[in-house]
Each structure stands twice: as C-alpha cells, then as structure tokens.
Amino acid sequence: MPVLGVTQILAWASSYYLPAVLAQPIANSTGWPLSWVVGGLSLGLLASGLISHKVGQTIEQRGGRPVLATSSILLALGLSSLALSHGLPIYLTSWFVIGIGMGSGLYDAAFATLGRTYGDKSRQAITALTLFGGFASTVGWPLSAYLVGLVGWRGTCWVYAALQLAFALPIYLFILPREERRELGGQVQARERKAPRESNASVRDLNRFRLLFTLVAAGLTLGDVIWSVLSVHLITILQARHVSVQEAVALGALVGPSQVSARVVEMLTGRFHHPIWTMIGSAVLVTAGVALLWAGGSLVAFGFILYGAGGGIRSIARGTLPLALFGSVGYAVVMGRLAMPSLLAQSVSPMIAAWVLERLGPLVLVRVLMAIAVCHLATVTVTWAVARQAGRLQAEAQ
C-alpha cells in the first residue's frame, strides 16, 4: 500500500519527529524550560501507550480504516491547538491529543491494519511500509527546519495540521478498503494458548511461551527507548559537541537513507531467514552506532549510518517477529499489547534524557544509551535462545 506509506511519512514528521527541530525554538520563544517542552512528546507517548491495547482491539474488530482516519483528525486538532498555545497547560494538553493520534496512526496501528488485511502473508507489506516510513526523518527534519525559518514554529504546526486534513484524511477515507466487522470472542486467548494446549505441552512449555512474549516486549521496549531519546535529542547532543544546527541536521539526515537501504536489503533477503535474525542484526547495528557516537570524532557519521540501518530493520522486526512467533490470529490485539510497555517507556525517556543533558551533560547521556544498547542486545539474544527451545524458529518465515 504505497499510499499508506506516504501518510506514514507525514504522520511521523508532524508528530514524533517534530520536537527534534521545534523544541529549542519553542523554548527560546516562550521561555519554557526545555525539559517541559520535550515533556510534551513524553505526554503524547504516554497517551499512545494508554490507548494502544484499545486501538489493537478496534482494528481487529473493525479494520484499520476508521482508526487511521481518526488519527489524522486528532493530529490536525492537536497541532492546531499547539500552534495556539501560549501557556504550558494548553501546550501539554495539545500533546496529549497528538499522542492519541500517534497511538492510532503510527507504525503499530499501520502494522495491525496490514496484519488484519493480509494475515500470514503480511510480512512483505509490512516491510514495504517501512521503506516509506524510513524517509520520515529525512523529509521531516529538513522540512520542519525550513518551515520554522519561514513561518516560525507556530506556522509550522499550522502547515502540518492542514496537510493532515487535506492530504492524509482523504487517503484514509477514500482509498483504504472497508473491512468486515469481526467479533473478538475468545480468539486472542485461544491464540495465546494454542501451541501449548494443542500439543499437550507441559506447564514448563506454557511458561516458556509466556516468557517469550515478555522477552519480545522487553526487546522492543529497550530498542524504542534508544530510538526515542536520540530522535528528540540527537541534534542537541551534536550541538553540544560544537556541531552547527545545519551540520547536525545534515548528519541526522543520514539516518533516513540508511534506514531505507537496510530495509531494501531486508525486503530482498527476508524470505530466507526468520525475523528473529532481523531483530538480532538490528541490535548489533544499533549498539555499534551508539558506540561510535560515544567515541566521537570522524567516525560519528559512520555511526549514524549503522544506527540508521539498525533502526530501519528493527521497525520491520517490530511487525514481523510477533507475526512469526505468535501467528496471525488476533495479531492486531497482540501488537497493541506489545506497544503498551514500549510507548510508556518512551513517554518518560525523552524527559529523563533532557534532565540528564541539562544536569550531567551529553557525554553521560550517550554512556547511558550505550548501556541500554548492550542490554537490548543481550535481551534479543536470550529471546533467540528461548524461541529456539520452544521450537518457534523452525517454521517458514511469513
């Protein structure tokens, strides 16, 4: 669905990636503390996490069309309110509305929509969608920087709100297909117990099944924490190392092409390996990228390339690994459940990172991110081991 990919670029650029460019201009023009400005995104992610389970259930029952259309309206409403905000209460309330739009319109909702539509055959569709999404930062950051210079940060919010209503909303309403309503019933609970009960597995097997679900959620959460912190604070970290805003934006723009290049490779080779190897490869690349960012110097640009590549295929694994490990029955609900801890963790990560930046400096923040990256790699490795013991790596990749 190419049109869904284009709307993903707009959705990410006008929500998640917005503070990376707008946070400092907002703080400068209003006098609000940077930590509170960035905290708006944290509040938005909290709202996303709180509704993620309900979003998954709604998509499973009614399809993704009404959910994605609602997300466009909510993003436009939140951005318009953001442009009009002259006090922190309205500013934060605006981000709460944007967060509900993010929870019902970004990757998790889009993956769930594709999973409901294509079932076990949705791996290629998910990969194709992420190819478009990889351009969100490449398009969004320079566009936002250009708009801020042209019409200010408030005008930038107005432009994005207009694009949501004039461009994204009609696509959702008139191009996405209608789908028949489904009743959830007990299918999700049956899916969670299917493998252990149908094979008369022991309690140990059932516990391993639950452990696997927990490990997948933990791996996704740790990876998303790193991504959320760097998405918001990457330019600030570089500026603290005496890199100009223009140079920082240029370096940040390397992430998008790296994401897309890695996703192209995954699209071409994905059918030959299980998605767990995509997740492991992602963890290795992200860890190496953060390590080079920590080291600094001339290798920083190469670090961005590795980091972008790892993040790019992680987005694919986010949608395909649960499909391969847990099946397509109730997939939208599973995605909602997996999204909740990740989004809740992301909701506090940028604010904590802002505090670390202001009090302890950028080098300490990068060291913390390095530690999280190592934990992420360890968690993904354990996930592989448990999945292998549970016999869930033998099936053909979807």
Alpha-carbon distance of 94 to 160, in angstroms, equals 14
pLDDT at 185: 54
pLDDT at 190: 47
Which strand (E) or helix (H) includes residue 59? Answer: helix 34-62
185 phi, psi to nearest 5 deg? 55, -135
Question: Average of pLDDT values for 120-124?
Answer: 76
In terms of DSSP H, where are the helices of 270-361? 275-295, 300-326, 331-359
pLDDT cut 70: percent of the chain above it: 89
Whether the CB-CB separation of 378 and 274 falls below 8 Å is answered with no
pLDDT(200) > 80: no
pLDDT at 202: 53
pLDDT at 394: 55
274 phi, psi to nearest 5 deg? -75, 145
pLDDT(197) > 50: no
| Domain layout of the chain by residue ranges | 2-175+187-389
Whether the CB-CB separation of 317 and 285 falls below 8 Å is answered with no
Handedness of CA 289, 292, 298, 300 (dihedral sign): positive
Question: Average of pLDDT values for 199-221?
Answer: 76
Three-point CA angle 125, 114, 101, nearest 5°: 120
Q: Which of 14, 119, 100 is nearest to 55 (CA)?
A: 100
Higher pLDDT, 223 or 4: 223
CA atoms within 13 A on the CB side of 384: 17
Question: Average of pLDDT values for 118-134?
Answer: 78
Instruction: Give the contacts of 24 (CB within 8 A, at least 6 positions apart).
Output: 34, 236
Q: What type of residue sits at position 14?
A: S
Q: Which of 5, 40, 243 is nearest to 124 (CA)?
A: 5
Alpha-carbon distance of 258 to 267, in angstroms, equals 14
**Any idea which of 130-144, 181-195, 336-350 has the lowest mean pLDDT?**
181-195
pLDDT cut 90: percent of the chain above it: 35
Which strand (E) or helix (H) includes residue 146? Answer: helix 136-163
358 phi, psi to nearest 5 deg? -70, -35
Higher pLDDT, 242 or 129: 129
**Any idea which of 16-25, 36-45, 183-192, 251-260 has the lowest mean pLDDT?**
183-192
Question: Average of pLDDT values for 314-329?
Answer: 84
Q: Is 396 helix (H, G, I), strand (E, B) or coil?
A: coil
The highest-level CATH class for domain 2-175+187-389 is: mainly alpha
pLDDT digits (tens, 9 = 90+) for 351-388: 788 888 888 888 888 889 999 999 999 999 999 988 88
pLDDT at 253: 72
Alpha-carbon distance of 163 to 251, in angstroms, equals 27
pLDDT digits (tens, 9 = 90+) for 6-33: 899 999 999 988 988 898 899 999 999 8
Helices 300-326 and 331-359 pack at an angle, to 10 degrees, of 150
pLDDT digits (tens, 9 = 90+) for 249-275: 777 778 778 888 888 888 888 778 888
Tallying the residues shown for the chain, one arrives at 398
What pTM, to 2 d.p., does this model score?
A: 0.78
pLDDT digits (tens, 9 = 90+) for 57-87: 899 888 888 999 999 999 999 999 999 999 9
Alpha-carbon distance of 276 to 374, in angstroms, equals 17
Q: Which of 375, 108, 332, 46 is nearest to 223 (CA)?
A: 375
pLDDT(195) > 60: no
Average pLDDT, the chain: 84
Rg (CA), the chain: 20
Q: How confident is the model at residue 119 (pLDDT cuts 50, 70, 90)?
A: confident
